[in-house]
Structures are given as C-alpha cells and as structure tokens.
Amino acid sequence: MSGTVLFATQGTTATVTLSHAGKLNAISAQMWRELAAGFARLSADTSLRCVVVRGADGNFAAGADIAEFPAERADEAAVRHYHMATIAPALAAVAQCTHPTVAMIEGVCVGGGLEIASHCDLRIAASDSRFGVPINRLGFPMAPGELQGLLALAGRAAALEILLEGRVFDAAEARDKGLLTRVVEPGALAAEVEATARRIAAGAPVAARINKATIRRLAPLPAPLSPAELDAHFAYAEGADHAEGVAAFLAHRPPQFRGE
C-alpha cells in the first residue's frame, strides 16, 4: 500500500487524515496528489467553517516516502517534477484553502509533515511531539515551493538552523522557533483542537475568509525563482551526494558524502 489521505466531515468541520500504516504516515506521491485534489474540493464547499489536518495512529507524518525516490526521483527531470508538480501544488492547496485550517500534531512531524503543518493557519501540538527536517542526510535541499511555509513561520535564522543541522527537536523548541500556535499535554490535544474548531466555527465564515485573503495580500510571497535559479537549485539531483544519501537511507547505513 502507498498510503492514503482520508477526508471526513462532521457538521461544519472537515477532518483530513494522513494515513500510511507502518511508515509513520510517510507521504507518498499518491498521497500528495490526493491532498491537492481533496483540498480543492474542501475549498469549494461553502458549508464548511474549519478544516483539521491530522495523522493516523498517533503520528502526524514522517516526511516523504523515501522508498519511492528511486522510481519517483530517478533523474533531474523527475526530481523537478516530483517537487514542483506533485508536492508544491499540494502545499499550495493547503495554504490557499478558503477555510481556516488547524494542524493537530502528535508524534512525529518532520520533513514533508512539517511542510504541511507549516502551510496550515494554526498548529496545535502535543508536548511530546517531535519536529525537524533531516533531509541534509539524504543529500538534498528543501525545494522552493516547500520552503515558503517554513520560512514564513520561523524566519531566516531558524529556517537555516533547522535545515543546516537537520536536528529533530521537541515541541517546546518548535514553539520557541515560531512553528507552533499552542502546545498542550498529549491527553488534552484532541479536546483542545475540538474546542479551537468550535471557536472558529462560531465566528462569521465570511469574515474568516476575508481575514485569510487580506493577510495573504498584506504578507505577499517573494517573486518566484527565475528559470536559471531553478536550474541552479535542482542541479544537485544528478550529484553523487544525493544518490549516496538516498542509497544510505534505504540501506540503513550512515551516508558518506564527498561534496559532489
């Protein structure tokens, strides 16, 4: 199984659940596509007032499904397509959702999982959850379309720390870095998210949508990278370090990077 994204609605709140059994909800290419299509449907549903994003079985998501990389990211063209045509549209669909979005975070929230959470409006986490972007050990950087959410929350200094060290850290540190809205005890997480959704739903939905649109307009994203800048970014795809990082991960051994 390559995992799935489950969509359910109760009253005016929709719940989106990342589910990939046995892989800590690692996000497959199929799941990224389901996320994009599903959020497009949710945005068009004017009966909704809030969308909660969570993971199944006690974890949010453990990043992308690296087992797919040899097939999905076999060369530079495939790498660019994977990041720009598969992941970026899914994150954009989350970020541009017309309804308020709340990430309910427990367990592992790293890599692509943190990217999804960063593109939600609010992030409420259990105190024992864990965060990070350890892709430096895989030999590749965070793609431009994925970096926007993290950079908007954490700022330049913290984003550099997270990406350059590749360290996994706790919820208290994530909150200090600006990544989280609120941290609660694990046993209180579900009730806190439910109460948050109720508070959002009790407000005027049109006002919420206007607030989201106005804030997006007043905090615009930088201009997209030029074709030359994108070429420079994705040049790593044919490098030895990237191939070594993925191979080492799949072989469960430490990578041996040569700076190539």
For every one of its 260 residues, what pLDDT tens digit does the chain have, with 9 covering 90 and above? 689 999 999 999 999 999 999 999 999 999 999 999 999 999 999 999 999 999 999 999 999 999 999 999 999 999 999 999 999 999 999 999 999 999 999 999 999 999 999 999 999 999 999 999 999 999 999 999 999 999 999 999 999 999 999 999 999 999 999 999 999 999 999 999 999 999 999 999 999 999 999 999 998 888 899 999 999 999 999 999 999 999 999 999 999 999 99
Token code pair at residue 2: 């390559």
CA–CA dist 35, 142 (Å, integer): 19
Closest CA to 190 of 114, 105, 87: 105
Cβ atoms within 10 Å, residue 52: 24
Residue type at 95 in one-letter notation:
A
Nearest-angstrom CA–CA distance, 8 and 122: 19
- Ordered by where they begin, the domains of the chain are 4-186 (3.90.226.10)
Taking alpha carbons only, the member of 95, 7, 47, 17 closest to residue 201 is: 47
Strands of the sheet with 130-132, listed across from one edge: 61-62, 108-110, 130-132, 169-170
Query: Looking at residue 224, what DSSP letter applies?
Result: P
pTM of the model: 0.96
| 5, 51 Cβ separation under 8 angstroms | no
Q: What pLDDT score was predicted for residue 165?
A: 98
Cβ atoms of 151 and 134 closer than 8 Å: no
Residue 151 tokens, joined:
């950079």
What pLDDT sits at residue 1?
63
pLDDT of residue 221: 82
pLDDT of res. 194:
98
- 229: which residues sit within 8 A by CB, 6+ positions away? none
C-alpha distances in angstroms, 180 versus 105, 118, 145, 217? 10, 9, 20, 22
| Contact between residue 123 and residue 143 where contact means Cβ atoms under 8 Å apart | no
DSSP single-letter state for residue 64:
B
